């Protein structure tokens, strides 16, 4: 039996290798045809803040951690709007409330009352899948569109220009072209509680870890222009080009996008600056790669990490991953890529793959990692809507921001590590490799051992289960070849 399983593993691995090679070759041909081929070419001296995305200077970027912090900030900005509120999202539910206050209005009522004050409110959401294979279905989205617009001055437009089996996945809000929010938070209760806090109390069916950014300064014009471009084509309403705000801080910020080719007239060759930025940053990594993401099954991303683990640039080089225990899809694919990364690490303990859940005595609940964060060496950071899969990097519409503000990046990492390790940030202000080796790994391994013995967990952090050297890599590349045109 052992010999048979070993043979199956070998066959699985060989097929996975072949399919991933075919997928990568397909992506390369596609990007070269579109004039984006250089994105996949290492230069040897990566400029992690280079690439094709414009860098804006003089911005203030704030990182809002978890819905309890992000959603009220968005609600306050909408309530204070004077000219317009522009929202683009994967999905928005009219009965969703941005705060948990007893008298908090629904999203529909908040937008309606804002529009009643003479503020232009425009809501651009994905129209849903052409075939009702999963939520939100097109029927559901049309019904909710009517709820947003009936007896209100709110304009809600559905965008059905998606590539086959893909979607419009970005999550952004622009208010008066003066403040913008970009990140991963959806305005819906579908699949989990977006209002979760850094405490992640186990009093809900499923917790939700997510991130948003609040932006002031010149980069807001880039976010506003992206919305304007999509709205103009889909709604047929010409909006004025946004004015560029005055400097508001000291951070350099880039707006990064995935815009699939042949989808919009404003980008007929597409835009793939999120992929460009990730590859540049990861290739340049010397000491630390820290990723929080819903998925990790992009072969292009995995290959860079594998190269780094096989030939580490420094003895203290570490890769730390925070992923959901059970992603909404692609679970086996993520496990397969992690198996490859473990093979590359070869027992050197440079790679640590973890997840989180919520525990309080006898009570416990899963916490879904929905954040889309990348940090490299505390010198580059991106936050947005893009997952590390072929959907987000090639075929869905996505918006991220990136910065090289080292003080902000380090403070963000320490704040997140304090949340996940349940330690004061000051206790974690040391060499990242030492914190990973002496805190992250011992805690995660101890909790995994407690799970193995059937004992209750005592900490939210744990090794990602199901990570082994077995490949199980067929689903990702096969799905990519089937759905990627």
360 band by pLDDT with thresholds 50, 70 and 90: confident
- Confidence band of 18 (pLDDT split at 50, 70, 90): confident
Tell me which residue of 259, 300, 261 sits closest to 278, measured CA to CA.
300
pLDDT tens-digit profile of 298-334?
A: 999 999 999 999 999 999 999 999 999 887 654 556 7
DSSP summary character for residue 168? B
Q: Which of 194, 175, 154, 155 is nearest to 68 (CA)?
A: 194
pTM (two decimals): 0.95
Q: Exposed e or buried b for every residue in 259-274, given b needs 16+ CB within 10 A?
A: bbbebbeebeebbbbb
Give me the pLDDT at residue 483, please.
53
Separation between Cα atoms, residue 177 and residue 226, nearest integer Å:
12
Digit-coded pLDDT (tens) for 53-109 = 999 999 999 999 999 999 999 999 999 999 999 999 999 999 999 998 989 999 999
CB 19 within 8 A of CB 390: no
pLDDT value of position 471: 45
Q: What is the pLDDT of residue 470?
A: 44
Strands (E) in 391-449, as ranges, are 398-403
Calpha distance 32→41 (Å, rounded):
11
Report the mean per-residue pLDDT for the chain: 91
- Given a cut of 90, whether residue 420 has pLDDT beyond it is yes
Of the pLDDT bands very low, low, confident and very high (cuts 50, 70, 90), residue 166 is confident
Query: Dihedrals φ, ψ of 21, to 5°?
Result: -60, -45
Query: For 174-231, how does the pLDDT look when each residue is reduced to its tens digit (9 = 90+)?
Result: 999 999 999 999 999 887 779 999 999 888 788 999 999 999 999 999 999 999 999 9
pLDDT at 33 over 80: yes
- Predicted local confidence at residue 469, as pLDDT: 46
Band of the pLDDT at 424, cuts 50, 70, 90?
very high
Instruction: Return the pLDDT at 17.
Output: 80
Does 475 or 440 have the greater pLDDT score? Answer: 440
For 182-191, 267-276, 468-477, which range has the lowest pLDDT when averaged over its residues?
468-477
pLDDT at residue 485 tops 50: no
Low-confidence winner among 375-379, 440-444, 450-454 (lowest mean pLDDT)? 450-454
Instruction: In whole angstroms, give the CA distance from residue 319 to residue 296.
Output: 13
From 208, 209, 213, select the one nearest 412 (Cα to Cα). 213
The confidence score (pLDDT) of residue 13 equals 75
Pairing of strands 179-183, 211-216: antiparallel
- How many CA atoms are closer than 13 Å to the CA of 186, on its beta-carbon side? 19
């Amino acid at each position: 039996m052992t010999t048979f399983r070993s043979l199956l593993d070998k066959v699985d691995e060989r097929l996975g290798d072949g399919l991933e090679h075919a997928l990568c070759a397909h992506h390369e041909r596609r990007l070269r045809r579109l004039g984006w081929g250089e994105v996949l070419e290492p230069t040897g001296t990566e400029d992690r803040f280079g690439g094709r995305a414009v860098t804006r200077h003089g911005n203030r970027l704030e990182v809002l951690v978890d819905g309890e912090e992000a959603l009220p900030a968005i609600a306050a900005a909408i309530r204070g709007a004077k000219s317009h509120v522009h929202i683009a999202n994967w999905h928005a539910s009219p009965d969703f409330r941005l705060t948990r206050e007893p008298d908090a209005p629904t999203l529909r009522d908040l937008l309606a009352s804002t529009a009643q004050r003479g503020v232009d409110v425009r809501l651009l959401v994905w129209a849903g899948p052409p075939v009702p294979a999963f939520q939100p279905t097109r029927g559901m989205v049309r019904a909710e569109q009517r709820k947003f617009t009936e007896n209100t001055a709110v304009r809600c437009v559905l965008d059905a220009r998606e590539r086959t089996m893909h979607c419009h996945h970005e999550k952004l809000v622009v208010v008066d072209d003066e403040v913008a929010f970009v990140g991963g938070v959806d305005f819906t209760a579908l699949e989990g509680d977006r209002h979760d806090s850094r405490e992640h109390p186990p009093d809900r069916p499923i917790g939700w870890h997510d991130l948003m950014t609040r932006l002031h300064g010149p980069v807001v014009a880039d976010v506003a222009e992206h919305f304007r471009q999509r709205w103009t084509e889909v709604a047929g309403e010409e909006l004025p080009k946004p004015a560029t705000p005055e400097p508001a801080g000291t951070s350099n910020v880039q707006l990064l996008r995935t815009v699939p080719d042949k989808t919009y007239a404003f980008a007929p060759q597409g835009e793939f600056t999120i992929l460009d930025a990730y590859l540049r940053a990861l290739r340049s990594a010397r000491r630390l790669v820290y990723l929080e993401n819903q998925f990790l099954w992009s072969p292009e991303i995995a290959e860079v990490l594998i190269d780094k683990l096989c030939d580490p640039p420094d003895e203290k080089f570490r890769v730390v991953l925070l992923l959901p225990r059970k992603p909404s899809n692609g679970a086996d694919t993520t496990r397969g890529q992690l198996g490859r990364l473990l093979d590359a690490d070869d027992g050197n303990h440079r790679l640590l793959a973890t997840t989180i859940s919520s525990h309080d005595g006898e009570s416990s609940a899963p916490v879904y990692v929905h954040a889309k964060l990348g940090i490299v060496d505390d010198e580059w950071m991106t936050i947005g809507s893009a997952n590390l899969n072929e959907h987000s990097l090639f075929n869905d519409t996505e918006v991220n921001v990136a910065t090289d503000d080292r003080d902000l990046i380090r403070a963000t990492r320490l704040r997140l590590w304090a949340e996940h390790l349940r330690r004061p940030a000051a206790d974690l202000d040391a060499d990242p490799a030492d914190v990973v080796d002496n805190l992250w790994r011992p805690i995660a391994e101890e909790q995994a051992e407690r799970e193995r013995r059937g004992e209750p967990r005592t900490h939210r952090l744990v090794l990602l289960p199901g990570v082994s050297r077995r490949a199980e890599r067929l689903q990702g590349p096969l799905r990519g070849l089937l759905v990627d045109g």
